[in-house]
Structure 1
Amino acid sequence: MTDDAQPAPATELDASLERYLDHLAERGLSDNTLEAYRRDLERYVSFLASISRTAPGEIAGNDVEAFVDAARSGADGRRPLSESSAARLVAAVRGWHRFLARHGVAVDDATWSVRAPAQPRRLPKAISIEEVDRLLDAAGQGGGPLPARDRALLELLYSTGARISEVVGLDLRDLDRADRRAAVRLATGSAKQRVAPLGRRAVRALDEYLTDSRPLLSVGGPGTDRLALFLNTRGARLSRQSAWAVLRSAAHRAGLIGADGISPHTLRHSFATHMLARGADVRVVQELLGHASVTTTQLYATPQDDALREAYAAAHPHAR
């Protein structure tokens, strides 16, 4: 007997895993993605070994479910996984088992009945009404035609809850500033439109922009867009990227916490959250946002305010 240690013989599972990883490499997956698959699946193989499973044909659906539970709780002796990480793990295991069944290594796909953990729906982020006011005020600061344009742009976004693509796509003809029925026609999709009312502050900002600033931006050259509502300094239609930059710059000037994370969708989320907090019916907000399902809109109705939570804790008999 020599002193050199002999490597332990690979199990059928180990060999099958290497063939699957080679298959993924041939498909052109990146090194980082392949490494993530290897980590997840080696954790799976280690768990299977602990319950005496060494070949693909020995694995049953309840073995996969037991592994997912162990990975989520850390019962397999490793770091517990979050819901999103566990969902990624299940996807890796499913892919391998489909490969095994497709190539005849296993008779059945042991994961067919295994469901990935439901991922929590993240609440949309919103800023307070006071922060919105600071943001809009900051957008209108400075000289020249741009501050009036920027203020009108952000006022319109917050007044309607529109998507940034809908707003930069607006033409002058889509705007109706008539007293008591001021509104804007938004193109939700290629064949869908909706009409959103405009608040007085948005109408005032638009009036100022259209009267004083847009004529200066509409330079009359070959690049001038005579139809677009919002123009850039060359007279062309304002792009989504430029509109995003307008908002980001205003957020920094307003001194908002997390200014780099403020996006056009922040104003959309804030619109919905503030409307529902002040008593608007969820289906009205759904229509204003252009949501296909009320379920999406109901996310904004989830209690987010500390005062609301405190009131609940003080009043509900089972809260504490």
Structure 2
Amino acid sequence: MASTAGIKGEDSGEPDNDEQDGRGTCVHDDEKKHARKKKRVTHDETFLRCGEGPPGDRDGSIYRMAVGWRRDYCIADRDETRCEAMMLSNPIECMFHGATCRQHRPGRMLQIFSLKLAKIQVAEGGPVELYGYVAARDVLDPLLNYVVNFSRDDPILVEQGSLIEMTGPKRGIELCYATLIEYDMRIKTGKQEKDDLQLIDGVSLIDEMTTFFRKPFTRRIHGDRGAVDITLSCVNDAVEATIEIVVLEVQSNFSLCVGCFISGLHQEIRLFDGTISESRGLRRSVVAGVMDTWMDLKLNVGSGPSYNSDNDAEHCCTFKATNHGYTSQLVKVKFATVLVKVTWSTLSMLP
């Protein structure tokens, strides 16, 4: 289970249980204290107690973590991770046992399946403009590995109950001892940033040992103006899969929804959901696959502006996970041809 840092209105609980939103007493940047109910700590959850951060800092809440975590995960460093995907997809120093490389072994990775806007507390109904980030920090390279990253100038439109588009991660997320999930997301409401509303802001700790035997599970991150549900899992014996999709020979506009399923799990990782009007490559996606198991990609194609499961066609392609190399498949759909390429790599022995 995920351990969570109790920071500035952030809390983790079951997504269908609002009573889990119990909160302790904290000091905000304006130095005003307000009372909150103390969170009931169960046997499998640990909450970090935090002090006060720099007043007015854009990422102020993350500085309220305990000193050890701030140091170990380089919280003050706002740079993006230096490690790229596919760094060990074609290494030169391999040791083979049969056809399998034993030099670069699979490991333990964290897979984020989805982020959903579970609850929103604004006066106006309907969709809202969201911006900000959700990022992972792991021991491989504790710099920011963005899962979501949208600027205020280019927010996304999301309504309550809808998925938040994931733009990352840039590379696989290692789960060794513990991984931090850092977030700061806001609701754009006015012309200036000071008028915007805080959705979620803080850091959650994902512990290796307490997630080891768990299938995908969902936790709710409560914030000042709503809540976000995060669904994630520890993936054992994992390798990094980099998925690149190119749409070719487009005959007319069509909707395309691409979902990824790993290791026989029914939990979808949404890779793309939009309209295709011309030949182009889609954004590269990185997921965790389980060594020697099958990863399935489902492509749902429709003639309307959005995918409709009752009327649209579904196409599937399957890839077997390995630690090196790549595989590609051509998928013929009604309005185009889709090239899917999957490149395999491990995270072990990266600098």
- Classify the TM-score, shorter chain: under 0.3
Larger helix proportion of the pair:
1
Q: Which has the higher contact order (CA 8 A, sep 6+)?
A: 2
Q: Which has the larger radius of gyration?
A: 1
Larger strand proportion of the pair:
2
Q: TM-score, normalised on structure 1?
A: 0.20
